């Protein structure tokens, strides 16, 4: 197997999933996510939201445009500071 890193061409457009505890109201979470995307200068659109089987978490899906690996890293770092965040995919 080749140990070379795969080079991803930028800019990229893809869907990102943000999982947050359901104790945080949906509108508050959506507002917080949008604020982070705006601060990070990420072009984004809301796709949908789903509840986990037990209702403990909400999974928010957004379509985003990312300009570089650094831009992606910075955006993930900021999203991981959201109140009630479980993970970002």
Please write the tens of the pLDDT for every residue from 28-75: 999 999 999 999 999 999 999 999 999 999 999 999 999 999 999 999
For residue 78, the model assigns a pLDDT of: 98
Q: What is the pTM of this model?
A: 0.90
pLDDT at 1 over 60: no
Q: What is the CATH number of domain 12-88?
A: 3.30.70.260
Residues near 67 by Cβ (< 8 Å), separated by ≥ 6? 10, 11
Q: How do beta strands 12-21 and 85-88 pair?
A: antiparallel
Residue 87's pLDDT band, with cuts at 50, 70 and 90, is: very high
Using alpha carbons only, what angle is made at residue 58 by residues 20 and 82, rounded to the nearest 5 degrees? Answer: 20
Q: What are phi and psi of 21, to 5 degrees?
A: -60, 145
């Amino acid at each position: 197997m080749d140990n070379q890193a795969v080079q991803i061409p930028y800019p990229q457009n893809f869907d990102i999933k943000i999982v947050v505890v359901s104790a945080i109201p949906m509108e508050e979470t959506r507002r917080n996510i949008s604020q982070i995307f705006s601060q990070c200068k990420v072009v984004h659109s809301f796709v949908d939201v789903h509840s986990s089987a037990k209702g403990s978490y909400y999974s928010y899906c957004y379509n985003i445009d990312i300009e570089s690996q650094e831009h992606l890293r910075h955006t993930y770092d900021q999203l991981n500071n959201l109140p009630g965040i479980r993970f970002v995919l």
